[in-house]
Amino acid sequence: MNFLLIAVCLLAGYFLRVSKILPQDAHKGINGWILYVAFPAVALHYIPSIKWNFELLLPLIMGLLVWFGALLVIRLASSTFQVDIKTFGALLLTAGFGNTSFVGFPLTQAYFGKEGLRIAVICDQLSFIVLSTFGVVSAMHLAHSENKSLRSIVLGLVKFPPFISFVAALLLPHVIPLAALDSLLQNLAGTLVPLALFSVGMQIEFAEYKNQIKFLFLGLGYKLFIAPAFIFGIAYLCGMRGIVAQTSVFEAAMAPGITAAIIAGQYELNPRLSNLMASIGLIVSFVTTFFWWFLLRYIR
């Protein structure tokens, strides 16, 4: 049933956009609900029940490891694939950051249930922080944009609703009991999955992909295969097993993030490739994440 929900929500978003029943930018209003209401509810509902331990370091730093891996792999492959500076920036952003929330949460819940979703929330936090810092600074540097001050980067981070809700979910249970709000938070959290998928569906585009084939091969090859294999190797070599290791690898295997693609587009870093990475990557990832789920049975 979870997979049927994913298919229905994605297709509904896509066809309502192309049929022009809804405005082209209708997803922005939906994203507002997700960021300011649904995501905070998910964090406040799930995070307080997490029992923190050293093993949770892997999901916490997964996003940072994936980004540094993208920097290394794309740099090494640049000459072979004839990657220009703008395309390098587009690949670094879209292959370096996954769709760990809008798509990652629904898929993780479908494969690993509520326990997996708890770990997915942790994975998403540092991924967002890395995108807000390393990602934005890289985009400005590669676009030869003006330097952005450290103060403005930090302010942008601490004012972002998911980050605020993550910190609140860590601190509030020590000050006030949240049990009385559990039913409300659960109902609000339940809106995240269908609305996130609907929003993603509205942003899917496939036009003019032929000129970008070799770059798509490089970017998606890293994001959907090399990055999760890297995290899988770390988990396996460190003897990590169970839901934490499984979810960390699974979240690393998510399609390129739409937010990263938007940032790349804003700085004119091959916006066509950025959109294609997010759109085609999303479709392909439904197959590749099944492959990773199947493989992850060996680290239960």
Residues 138-177: tens digit of each pLDDT:
887 787 655 556 676 667 667 767 677 778 887 888 788 7
Per DSSP, the three-state class of 238 is: coil
Q: What is the pTM of this model?
A: 0.77
> Tokens 């390393």 identify what position?
134
In contact, 270 and 216? CB cutoff 8 Å: no
Task: Summarize the confidence of residues 16-39 as an average pLDDT.
Answer: 85
Domain count, the chain: 1
Residue 270 CB partners (closer than 8 Å, separation 6+): 86, 87, 89, 90, 212, 215, 264
pLDDT tens readout for residues 64-94: 999 999 999 999 999 899 999 999 999 999 9
* Region label for 260, one of left (φ > 0), alpha (ψ between -120 and 50) or beta (otherwise): alpha
Task: Summarize the confidence of residues 269-286 as an average pLDDT.
Answer: 88
The enclosing domain of 55 has a CATH number of 1.20.1530.20
Structural domain range at position 201:
2-299
